[in-house]
Amino acid sequence: MAETKTVAPKQSGLERFWNWLTETQAWTSIFRHGRPTTDRNRVLVMLSNVFLHLHPVRIRKSGVKLRYTWCMGGMSFFLFLSLTLTGLLLMFYYRPTLEYAYTDIVGLREHVPLGIMREMHRWGAHAMVITVWLHMFRVFMTGSYKPPREFNWSVGVVMLVLTLLLSFTGYLLPWDQLAIWAITVGSNMARATPFLGHEGPGASLLRLGDVPLIHAQDDARFALLGGTFVGEAALLRFYVLHCVGLPLGIAVLMAVHFWRVRKDGGISGPL
Amino acid sequence: MAFIKILFNAVADPRLFFLLAVAGLALVVWKREHVASNTIGYGGLGILGAFFVFGTFDPYFRLIVTKPDNVPIVGLIFMLVFFVWFSIREGVLNDRRIAAGQGPIEKAEADRVWVWPDLVYTELISLILCSVILIVWSIFLKAPLEQPANPANTPNPSKAPWYFLGLQEMLVYFDPWLAGVVLPSLIIVGLICIPYIDKNPKGNGYYTFTERRAEITIFLFGFAVLWSSLIVLGTFLRGPNWNFFGPFEFWDIHKLAALNNVNLSEYVWVRTLRTGLPSNWFIREIFGIILVLFYILALPVILAKAWFKGYYEKMGGPRYYVGAFLFLMMMALPIKMLARWLFNLKYIVSIGEYFFNI
Ligand code: HEM
């Protein structure tokens, strides 16, 4: 009598390793579902992963098309993440004082073989300004700011301003000629703030008797720079804003922004 | 060769440059059916590319374009041209579909797809591409580092970071309180207001042009012509003392530009009425003040009755007035530019006593 033998299909070493790996206790404790090849697992992968959970499970076909979103919002977010990472690394080497700021940057350039962290950070920042503009442009051209997404557009505008401010505050940190004069030109505007700048219209009206309330030592520009010129106080202020204040603010708003994209019905499309 | 360069230097003059930008936008909007073709789009980009390649053979052009911080703006120019063209094209294509009764393409793509794999893979690929571009860019282009900061040594020109150069360019026409504080604030406020002013229910969630003619034209004017082209102007064509220099021109510190701008008050009192300037500032500036108040307060009302009647009726009072105010504030810049170029007008209202110049 002939015996029937069931022959398992031949598996390559890699496949066997993969099968073994995805059944270990460690793996199954991290990923609580099989590979996303079935509909059920495609739902589970989105729902059980905190990062992927930013997304819905399913999405309009037009919304995943590059021709519709240009992926500009996603790229802005990615650049922000990459800037956070490279910025963190730069913070290990950079001290925001008149004594060290410039020389630390020189050190990064001279003593780190093949170092490109500063470049990645600077060009990433320029690129982010551009991608955020283009993202805004595409949102406008698809009319995606119309109801119910009005508020998310407003959140976006604030993030656009924060992006520019992040870039602006970072511009000062290398403490070279390029840096302080760009910031000087930029911050000089603040002294012309109506009422609050000492060369602004209306500032001379704010006085107690003979005593003017607004002068170079207490106007809007002084608040920005911590002094009457771009000096050490300005450097510290810009550093703290650049590394802590503004990133925190924009991160919170990004959370709101993404949340609202979902709550407003996902990527826009014709009704 | 020399002739072409002279031609470009002349065309780049702020006046011509700006008028050409406006004409370009008008052409794109008007001839959009033709602009939408691939030949025009990619051909245009090709010509632009050829111009930059041609330019880099010129030492002055190369000097300014390859300044590390200016390289991103070269990229911006190309991306902007591409995406403006692309979005117009998508709009035109959709408009054709709508005219044929098919509805926009986005409507045909309304069915849902799985985020995994359809979206996450797109994201992964753009993430990788983005990283590769960033890394390659960082390897080949060193971040700039100039001499250590020296408060006693002002470089000429002193420029703000590039994304603010449109604002710095406005300083040619307006005082800092307007160019540096009030108008930027109004840009932010105005952007935030857009969704609340624009009550056109059409064109929500798809590219179109015909359903949103005015909105798109105004936005393109603000974004592409005013904001972006002035950045390009401020970056590449403004040299020492903020003088104009053509793209193929040497940045000569000693270049002199005649400054013979005249205030409105002088035009009225001295040149027309042939009396001296009154010493009381209010009387001296009364004509300018009336003009400005007319522009801000009366013009929107008049427009509501005439040209913008349709908008007034569609939008209702409050929306219309906020929108008209913001629109007029935006138009204040090109108006002031024209007044400067045509009449050498310096200030419409000039109350130096209170730093109040318009
Ligand atoms: C820091 C910068 C920003 C980041 C990281 C960001 C990120 C995103 C992402 C990832 C999306 C999903 C769709 C897409 O990629 O296009 C999105 C959608 C959206 N964004 Fe942004 N964004 C930013 C700035 C802005 C700005 C400046 C605006 C407008 C002024 C804006 C308004 C919107 C709106 C209205 C949507 C919904 C679009 C739709 O449903 O089609 N965002 N954003």
CATH number of the domain at A84, please.
1.20.810.10
Mean pLDDT, residues A131-160 taken together: 96
Q: What is the pLDDT of residue A3?
A: 62
Q: Mutation test of the interface with chain B: which of A133, A141, A151, A160, choosing the one with the most B Cβ atoms within 10 A?
A: A141
Q: What is the pLDDT of residue A100?
A: 94
Amino acid at B252: D
Q: How many domains does chain B have?
A: 3
Q: Which two tokens stand for residue A190?
A: 């603040």
* B211 is a domain residue: no
pLDDT range class, residue A4, cuts 50, 70, 90: low
CB contact under 8 A, B115 and A202: no
Statement to judge: residues B181 and B268 lie in one domain: yes
* B52 is a domain residue: yes
**Among the ranges given (A245-249, B41-45, B344-348), the one the predictor scored with the smallest mean pLDDT:** B344-348
Statement to judge: residues B262 and B279 lie in one domain: yes
**Among the ranges given (A53-57, A83-87, A250-254), the one the predictor scored with the smallest mean pLDDT:** A53-57
Amino acid at A131: T
Has residue A2 got a pLDDT over 60? no
Q: CA B237, CA B110: separation in Å to the nearest integer? A: 47
Mean pLDDT, residues B70-83 taken together: 94
Window 199-228 of A: residues touching B by CB (8 A cutoff) are: 199-205
Q: Quick: pLDDT tens for A23-75.
A: 899 998 998 888 888 889 989 988 888 888 888 888 999 888 899 999 999 99
Nearest CB to B127 within list A78, A181, A191: A78
Has residue A1 got a pLDDT over 60? no
Look at A139 and B258; give whichever has higher pLDDT.
A139
* Percentage helix, strand, coil for chain B under 3-state DSSP, each rounded to 5: 70, 5, 25
Q: What is the pLDDT of residue B184?
A: 95
Interior CA angle at B134 toward B142 and B129, to 5°? 160
Q: Hey, is the C-beta of A263 within 8 angstroms of any chain B C-beta? A: no
Q: Which two tokens stand for residue A19?
A: 């099968």
Q: How many domains does chain A have?
A: 1
Statement to judge: residues B125 and B59 lie in one domain: no
Statement to judge: residues B268 and B169 lie in one domain: yes
CB contact under 8 A, A186 and B142: no
Q: Quick: pLDDT tens for A164-206.
A: 999 999 999 999 999 999 999 888 898 889 888 888 888 878 8
CB B164 within 8 A of CB B155: no
Residues linked to residue A212 through DSSP beta bridges, in sequence order: A207
Q: CA B84, CA B41: separation in Å to the nearest integer? A: 10
Statement to judge: residues B199 and B267 lie in one domain: yes
Q: What is the pLDDT of residue A5?
A: 67
Q: Quick: pLDDT tens for B95-122.
A: 999 999 999 999 988 888 988 888 999 9
* B149 is a domain residue: no
Q: What is the pLDDT of residue B263?
A: 87
Block residue for tokens 């008008």: B26
Mean pLDDT, residues A223-250 taken together: 94
Q: What is the pLDDT of residue A209?
A: 81
Which residues from B are below 8 Å from A193, CB to CB?
177, 181
* A157 is a domain residue: yes
DSSP H helix total and E strand total for chain B = 19, 3
Which residues from A are below 8 Å from B163, CB to CB?
129, 164, 167
> What is the residue-wise DSSP string for B163-227?
GGHHHHHHTTTS-HIIIIIIHHHHHHHHHHHHHHH----SSSSS--SGGGHHHHHHHHIIIIIII
Mean pLDDT, residues B45-60 taken together: 92
Statement to judge: residues B352 and B317 lie in one domain: yes
Statement to judge: residues B225 and B190 lie in one domain: no
Statement to judge: residues B237 and B300 lie in one domain: no
pLDDT range class, residue B338, cuts 50, 70, 90: very high
Of all residues in chain B, the one with the smallest CA distance to A107 is B145
For B297-321, give one letter per residue: b (16+ CB within 10 A) or e. Answer: eeebeebbeeebeebbeebeeebbb
Question: What is the sign, positive or negative, of the torsion defined by CA atoms of A254, B120, A128, B229?
Answer: negative
* B152 is a domain residue: no
Statement to judge: residues B37 and B131 lie in one domain: no
Statement to judge: residues B264 and B329 lie in one domain: yes
* A94 is a domain residue: yes
Q: Which two tokens stand for residue B184?
A: 């930027």
CB A60 within 8 A of CB B112: yes
pLDDT range class, residue B163, cuts 50, 70, 90: very high
Contacts of A209 (CB under 8 A, 6+ apart): none
Q: Quick: pLDDT tens for B127-159.
A: 999 999 999 999 999 999 999 999 888 888 889
Of all residues in chain B, the one with the smallest CA distance to A167 is B161
Residue whose CB lies within 8 A of the most ligand 1 atoms, among A66, A81, A261, for a mutation test: A261
Look at A156 and A195; give whichever has higher pLDDT.
A156
**Among the ranges given (A28-42, A93-107, A145-159, B176-190), the one the predictor scored with the smallest mean pLDDT:** A28-42
Q: Phi then psi for B236, rounded to 5 degrees?
A: -95, -25
Residues of chain B above pLDDT 90, percent: 61
Amino acid at A100: Y
* A250 is a domain residue: yes
Q: Quick: pLDDT tens for B320-335.
A: 999 999 999 999 999 9
The residue whose CA has the least distance to atom 31 of ligand 1 is A156
CB contact under 8 A, A57 and B114: yes
The helix/strand/coil state of B350 is: strand
* A35 is a domain residue: no
Statement to judge: residues B169 and B267 lie in one domain: yes
Statement to judge: residues B194 and B221 lie in one domain: no
Block residue for tokens 């955020």: A132
* Last-in-domain residue among B256, B285, B316: B256
Q: CA A53, CA B242: separation in Å to the nearest integer? A: 51
* A205 is a domain residue: yes
B187: containing domain: 162-205+258-358
Q: CA B189, CA A160: separation in Å to the nearest integer? A: 12
Could you count the other beta carbons within 10 Å of the beta carbon of residue A31? Answer: 15
Q: Is A132 in the pocket of ligand 1 (CB under 6 A)?
A: yes
* A175 is a domain residue: yes
* B109 is a domain residue: no
Residue whose CB lies within 8 A of the most ligand 1 atoms, among A128, A257, A262, A267, for a mutation test: A257
pLDDT range class, residue A252, cuts 50, 70, 90: very high
Q: Which two tokens stand for residue A13?
A: 């070493």
What is Dmax (Cα atoms) for chain A?
Answer: 119
Look at B274 and B83; give whichever has higher pLDDT.
B83
* A70 is a domain residue: yes
Q: What is the pLDDT of residue A211?
A: 82
Window 61-90 of A: residues touching B by CB (8 A cutoff) are: 61-68, 70-71, 74-75, 78-79, 82
CB contact under 8 A, B87 and A137: yes
Mean pLDDT, residues A66-90 taken together: 95
Nearest CB to B120 within list A52, A118, A191: A52
**CA of residue B165 to ligand 1 center, whole Å:** 25
* A52 is a domain residue: no
How far is C-alpha B192 from the geometric centre of its chain's CA atoms?
18
Q: What is the pLDDT of residue A191?
A: 87
Amino acid at B119: L
* B153 is a domain residue: no
Q: Which two tokens stand for residue B343?
A: 């009449």
Q: Is A221 in the pocket of ligand 1 (CB under 6 A)?
A: no
Which residues from B are below 8 Å from A105, CB to CB?
145
Which residues from B are below 8 Å from A118, CB to CB?
143
Mean pLDDT, residues A72-88 taken together: 96
**CA of residue A156 to ligand 1 center, whole Å:** 6
A239: containing domain: 65-263
Has residue B60 got a pLDDT over 80? yes
